[in-house]
Amino acid sequence: MSDTPAIELRKINKRFGSVHANKDIDLVVGKGSIHGIIGENGAGKSTLMSILYGFYQADDGDILVNGNKVIIPDSKAAIGLGIGMVHQHFMLVDNFSVLENVVLGAEDSQMLSGGLARARTELKRLEEEYELRVDPDALIQDLPVGLQQRVEILKALYRSAEVLILDEPTGVLTPAEADHLFKILEVLKNEGKTVLLITHKLREIMAATDTVSVMRRGEMVATRETKNTSMEELAELMVGRSVLLRVDKKPAEAKAPVMEVENLTVTDSRGVQVVKDVSFNVRAGEIVGIAGVSGNGQSELLETLSGIRRATKGTLKINGETIDLGTSTLDAADMRAKNMGHVPEDRHRMGLINSFAEYENSILGYHRDPAYSKGWLMDLAAIRKNAVAEIEKYDIRPPSPMLKTANFSGGNQQKIVLAREIERDPEVLLVGQPTRGVDIGAIEFIHRRIVELRDEGKGILLVSVELDEIRALSDRVLVMFDGRIVGERGANAEEGELGLLMAGVEDNNKNAAEGGAR
């Protein structure tokens, strides 16, 4: 490490309307280090990095790169200064090859062939230097996400980035892929590159970084040497008070099954089997967690059970009634009528209508309930009264039922969905990604509410890609891989073991593992 920092930010301020997204941010990133930035959603991490990468302009404050004061008007300027960024959502063209994607935007001339040949040589060199092996002629759509991310890193290196910003890089990766990514980052560091790792996962900070800076509500609240801090301290700094990382709950008192799924097979619109012959049950008074890397059939499973998607075959027993899912024409409204609640995985796409007022969303899916209507008309007074009650009970802020839903924060939006589904007193609750994009305070609340529902004797099926969440909440864990349930574990399943199952490693140790879980 040399003395001049790779990046130095001085008193950076950024306001969006009345929101002060970055307040007097100071940050020093040493050359050749891995520097983590951690904070809740909405803490201002992404804004800060967007300023560094030229997407936004700071209202005031200075940016120094290698000790020189610079102005970064756009991302082209950032790349020129040797700053590269790997976005959370990859910026790749799916039907282009790796090589074409790497060259895209840096073609150097009107004709492609010269640039492509040069890129091929350069890729080979980068591959050897940083151990980043990818077939340059493979199409992006054929690559697993871990490799796609590698292409993003190569793109940045090809543009001779010295500082690499990774924004929530592990969201789509298996634990094994994430570990591999951290090894790559280590190699990059040893080659003298500087890495800025943006994340809200404490474990990654502890595993991968040298230094960590914590942001809270637009302010930089602390910077620590990673080896001199702990998860507990960082969590407290993030939230501003001490946090329970574990969910307090009694052992489950599971009773008779409330939902039984047998031989469920689902085929998607492309004709690909996405759920393959899945059977399981959920008993009253227990939380069954489905672990798995995103895209292994969990979403389709939830959508099928909730009546949104059609199955090819399979049966569903709910409250003693048997439904042949292969032929059923029941839609989401019919499933709700069978006392099944559904908190969908993606609240923006599915769970809420962002342009509606809060009270209008508080009855989405239940708008035909006689309690909320007078004949053909909606009973607005009853709807608003109910919305106000839910706002109070779930501490939804701001407490204004007339406010447009888009103007609530992620955590509060999720509480709107959760309140709507739980307060209808379902026997079975399907929950997908209940805390995605939700701040820690709200996570605690949401987890507690789900456990309470369990203790009231309801059956809960929980799908989450956050392994920590699955382990904290579930009484039984099912692991899905490639559309199948590849293993079942008890409440105390080891993280490493689940990780292997999620990565598709054969479960040849089933009996022993179940013995261990008991």
For other proteins, the binding residues (CB under 8 A) are: 15-18, 306-308, 331-336, 342, 344, 349-356, 360, 364-365, 367-368, 373, 376-378, 380, 404, 406-407
Q: Which is nearer to other proteins, 336 or 415 (CB)?
A: 336
The distance of closest approach from Cβ of residue 331 to other proteins in the complex, given in angstroms and rounded to an integer, is 5
* Residue count of the chain: 518
The distance of closest approach from Cβ of residue 193 to other proteins in the complex, given in angstroms and rounded to an integer, is 36
Contact 186, 131 (CB under 8 A): no
The distance of closest approach from Cβ of residue 471 to other proteins in the complex, given in angstroms and rounded to an integer, is 28
Closest CA to 428 of 401, 447, 456: 456
The distance of closest approach from Cβ of residue 97 to other proteins in the complex, given in angstroms and rounded to an integer, is 32
Contact 254, 476 (CB under 8 A): no
Q: Which is nearer to other proteins, 270 or 349 (CB)?
A: 349
Residue 292 CB-density burial (10 A; 0-12 exposed, 13-18 middle, 19+ buried) = buried
Contact 450, 420 (CB under 8 A): no
Describe the crossing of helices 112-130 and 175-190 by its angle, rounded to 10 degrees.
90
Q: Which is nearer to other proteins, 186 or 331 (CB)?
A: 331
Angle at 454 between CA 453 and CA 455, to 5 degrees: 90
Q: Which is nearer to other proteins, 267 or 354 (CB)?
A: 354
Provide the H-helix boundaries in 216-307. Answer: 231-239, 298-305
The distance of closest approach from Cβ of residue 195 to other proteins in the complex, given in angstroms and rounded to an integer, is 32
Q: Which is nearer to other proteins, 124 or 368 (CB)?
A: 368
Contact 472, 457 (CB under 8 A): no
Q: Which is nearer to other proteins, 315 or 354 (CB)?
A: 354
The distance of closest approach from Cβ of residue 241 to other proteins in the complex, given in angstroms and rounded to an integer, is 27
The distance of closest approach from Cβ of residue 304 to other proteins in the complex, given in angstroms and rounded to an integer, is 13
Q: Which is nearer to other proteins, 419 or 493 (CB)?
A: 419
Rounded to whole angstroms, what are the CA distances from 409 to 113, 144, 202, 450? 48, 32, 22, 20
**Which DSSP string do the residues of 61-104 spell out, in sequence order?**
EEEEETTEEE---SHHHHHHTTEEEE-SS----TTSBHHHHHHT
Whole-number Å distance between alpha carbons of 84 and 75: 9
The distance of closest approach from Cβ of residue 307 to other proteins in the complex, given in angstroms and rounded to an integer, is 7
Residue 191 CB-density burial (10 A; 0-12 exposed, 13-18 middle, 19+ buried) = exposed
Q: Which is nearer to other proteins, 355 or 492 (CB)?
A: 355
Contact 51, 74 (CB under 8 A): no
